[in-house]
Structure 1
Amino acid sequence: MKTKWMCMILMFALALNLSACGNRQENGNSSENGAINIEPQSVEDGSSENTGNESSEMNVIDLQDNGTDKNIMVVSTVKDSAFSGKVSGCYYAGGSRIIVAADKLYLYDMGKGETIASADISMGDLCIQTFTGGYFVVGQGKAGGGNASFAASESDGINGYILNKDFAVQDTISFSGLLSDDFIVQITGIAVSQDGKQVAFGGLQGLYLYDTSSKKVRTILDYDEDGRANNIGIVSMDSLTFTGNNTLVYVGTATDISNGGDGFSVYGTVSTDSANITITKKADYQVDTEEIQKGGNLLAMPQSFNKNNGTLLMLDTASMTEKMITFSSRSEGKDGVYCSGQGKYVATAILEESSVTINIYDTASGKSIHTEIVQDSNSAYFMRVPQILILDESGTCIVVLGRGIDEVSTLITTFGFVG
């Protein structure tokens, strides 16, 4: 853990580095020239390596150019003493609240700096959505996790939980038991309606709707029979979101009905009442359907890793209009693209051996508005893509590192920015 006098040393180190880095880009967006090598310290043993559940603090370097000298600030991590077990992820929960997944799910208020509720749910990969009356959690079941009444019926099954605003479970859905002749393969292809009364989900053969009151499932459309338009046939709907209680926006994969060939990414709308479908193919842009994120009315649709060229396609689901953002470099985006809770901002991560550079963009203007570098001497934290959350209202960015690496504890650090 850093001692207080480290701030003075860091300021002196910054002055030395600035004098030696005359070739740094003026806007501070260069991760190659903007990084400052600072070794974190621990009060206990002088090392930054962390295992188990011990809290840690990391270096956060502010490279935002606001016409004054660039500043360096040390920002404390969220203390994991508020949670039990290794943190496996953090998720936006509206306003200043986030949901933290560890041995169970915790509802955490960033403004108060405390856990305000918890639910005895433990899963592997998961997605969390907010709706008018609460939260919808869906993920892969994890054997032995959580209370028996909430545990997955199958260790590898997909399960969903509807929780109210007080974080109490109102309904449990075992998706593996809903269909007798189809399978669900992606948790991103499951969405709750804005009133929390319906859950739509895509399978290998069709699109379905679950009614939370009657507990019944009906087929919205069969891909082979109804999932066709403009000579394009739907193969899968990998990401779903409600834009109203009777309309879905999807992103998925399709093929050319006449020529066949390789699949390509598409998006469109589906009416849950009439099954009317629209299909749009974006030329020269292949969406990574597992990485789509929603913020407010915006869908951020990152490109597939092997097609990345430094651009991001965004879709306004209210008007169904496209917007393209161009990042500062063509390589940006391959290490992660992240949309804020309300869709006002997107961030990119650029991984280096012992640091990650985070660039934040304003979605309205497409301009880069803030750059931050997070460093640690333990390079293991930068071997995998981080998780980044942006809270629009407070201008807060949360960076989660090491959540998928068993050998190290999860590090969570925050920094502020001005939109």
Structure 2
Amino acid sequence: IAHESTSGNLPDGDPETAVSQTKLLYAGANRLTAMKLALLDLPEGNAMRAPGEAPGLMVLEVAMDEMAEKLGIDPVEFRVRNDTQVDPHAPDRRFSHRDLVGCLKLGADRFGWAKRNAKPGSLRDGQWLVGVGVASAFRNNMVMKSGARVRLDEQGTVTVETDMTDIGTGTYTIIAQTAAEMMGVPLDKVVVRLGDSDFPASAGSGGQWGANSSTSGVYAACVKLREAVAQRLGINSADAVFEDGQVRSGNRGVPLGEAAQGGLTVEDTIEFGELSKTYQQSTFGAHFVEVGVDVHTAEIRVRRMLAVCAAGRILNPKSARSQVIGGMTMGVGAALMEELAVDTKRGFFANHDLAGYEVPVHADIPHQDVIFLDEVDPISSPMKAKGVGELGICGVSAAVANAVYNATGIRVREYPLTLDKFLDRMPDAA
């Protein structure tokens, strides 16, 4: 397997890391990956809505489909056959937990993949040619040092302070859940304070590392608080049970607030050491898409979408689902409409606003289904979780492109897949 990427940036800028997933996603003895950087006098290039895996998988997963077709193997089965439980470049380095195969098989079952007609351009629904496509999803799981301060007052209220941010991803909720679970109190007895530089430094938001790392920091602080409570009560912290607003040891139960006379405040930080060198940590998924392509105009419409994700313990299924469907929506945009127009004479982007740079709106997106595998990753963190944010976009565009090919028999290798690239190649509408 070989994957080379060329991207542009300012001098001293970094290339787009679009080949990272290719090093790890599939097995294979003969391997080549390379990144090249072109120096351009344009605004700085950097990751905005997704990491390098998102554009990288737009290419890799189309290539996998083309190869499966040439071999006469079902695209899902072809991916399953090439699964690996170790880093192909360093076989002694195992994945901490990897169930890409589970995602592909469950997704195929739920999406009705067995009904797919492997012959492109053979299924029609009125004026629409219908096709389905699949792509694997991959995003590395990164963990970062993250701290928190936890206070316990005489009313049994737990206050968490960390400079972590909530950018609409539900950080307040999952941090409150973590503290409530650790201290054995209901959610309404937890106060979460974020985003103040006077608070302990957290991992920060972005790159799908924020949730796992920041809640692990809260976990560490709560462990320290539990020890302080147990010490104050004169009991062994290992024997103490925190539940229903009380601390119990044997037949003895004390209200949590009573154990905190005068208040208790502790602070701690989670650090992960050499964990990433010992294990390869990644998240996995499978995207399934059904599209319709108008036989007269070559207009492409997404009809159904399904994402199946394997990302360790899901801290909050509702907010995690919102993350994934947001990524799926952006993946549709990248596949079908989003394109930058560069003014090469003046060196800037001509369509630099939402009037000229098209993104999906509600009418472009059908109902989206998301399934999270019921799993944990005990290696990743004390939370046994992993990130899930970027996993929602990684692979979506390729699944759309593969579905369009299945519908029309026309393979277009340049995004976005706009109708002008199909119109003169469409099959006879009659």
Q: TM-score, normalised by structure 2?
A: 0.28
Q: Of the two, which has the highest radius of gyration?
A: 2
User: Of Structure 1 and Structure 2, which has the larger fraction of its residues in strand?
Assistant: 1
- The structure showing larger relative contact order (alpha-carbon pairs under 8 Å, at least 6 residues apart) is 2
Q: Which has the higher helix share?
A: 2
